[in-house]
């Protein structure tokens, strides 16, 4: 399992449950989110995965997810790098708003554009393109070299920061990536070639 990269979106958060725009706000995991993270760790352990290093964001929902997975893997002391570059997309003025309330305030079509366009940011926030412009340089400078050196790397992050990575890894167009959803607590397993291209990809469903 050389050049192994595993991506995991955090388990369900309290604001996911309440249908709120979360962004860089820092709610914790729900009981379901804890269970999702634990199950992800169990599934990885059942497949015999071990890791050399972990990366996560500075937000607690991603960090807690990683901690729960590493407990199941028996790797509680794994070297872990936390960086703001892996944070969720910043939703700006939408943070903390219920998505239905936002539609009432700005209109259904406008909120849809903010949520699902590639390069139109909400007021005061980031588009998916902005998020990718933050995530991908960090991936290329800090994460990818570790993978290409043969280390086994796990990344616990967020729906949009991981979509940015998947877009690059899978060579997806903006139209393709905005239609993609990344499930909470479901590992995405990549094996990379020497040049960083994808040799194989597997979504590790329960």
Give per-residue burial for 154-168: e unless 16+ CB within 10 Å, then b: bbbbbbbbbbbbbbb
To the query of whether residue 88 is one of the catalytic residues in this protein, the response is yes
Alpha-carbon distance of 24 to 22, in angstroms, equals: 6
User: Which candidate, 62, 108, 64, 106, places its Cα nearest to that of 87?
Assistant: 62
To the query of whether residue 112 is one of the catalytic residues in this protein, the response is no
Q: Are 168 and 132 in contact (CB under 8 A)?
A: yes
Give per-residue burial for 39-63: e unless 16+ CB within 10 Å, then b: bbbebbbeeebebbbbbbbebbbbb
Instruction: Considering the candidates 10, 39, 126, 158, report the single residue annotated as catalytic.
Output: 10
Give per-residue burial for 67-86: e unless 16+ CB within 10 Å, then b: bbbbebbebeebebeeeebb
Q: What is the 3-state composition of the chain as percent helix, strand, coil, each rounded to the nearest 5?
A: 45, 15, 35
User: Which candidate, 117, 51, 46, 101, places its Cα nearest to that of 81?
Assistant: 51
Alpha-carbon distance of 157 to 181, in angstroms, equals: 14
Instruction: Considering the candidates 36, 39, 88, 126, report the single residue annotated as catalytic.
Output: 88
Point out the residues that are catalytic: 10, 88
């Amino acid at each position: 399992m050389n050049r192994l990269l595993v991506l995991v979106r955090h388990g369900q958060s309290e604001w996911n449950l309440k249908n709120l725009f979360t962004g860089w706000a820092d709610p914790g995991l729900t009981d379901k989110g804890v269970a999702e993270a634990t199950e992800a760790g169990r599934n990885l352990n059942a497949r015999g995965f071990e890791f050399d290093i972990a990366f996560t964001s500075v937000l607690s929902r991603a960090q807690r997810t990683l901690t729960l997975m590493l407990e199941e893997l028996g790797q509680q002391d794994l070297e872990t790098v936390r960086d703001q570059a892996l944070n969720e997309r910043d939703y700006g003025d939408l943070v903390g708003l219920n998505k239905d309330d936002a539609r009432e305030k700005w209109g259904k079509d406008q909120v849809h554009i903010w949520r699902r366009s590639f390069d139109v940011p909400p007021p005061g926030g980031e588009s998916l393109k902005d998020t990718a412009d933050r995530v991908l340089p960090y991936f290329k400078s800090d994460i990818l070299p570790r993978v290409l050196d043969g280390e086994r790397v796990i990344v616990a992050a967020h729906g949009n920061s991981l979509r940015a990575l998947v877009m690059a890894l899978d060579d997806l167009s903006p139209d393709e990536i905005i239609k993609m959803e990344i499930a909470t607590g479901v590992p995405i397993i990549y094996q990379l070639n020497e040049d960083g291209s994808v040799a194989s990809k597997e979504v590790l469903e329960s």
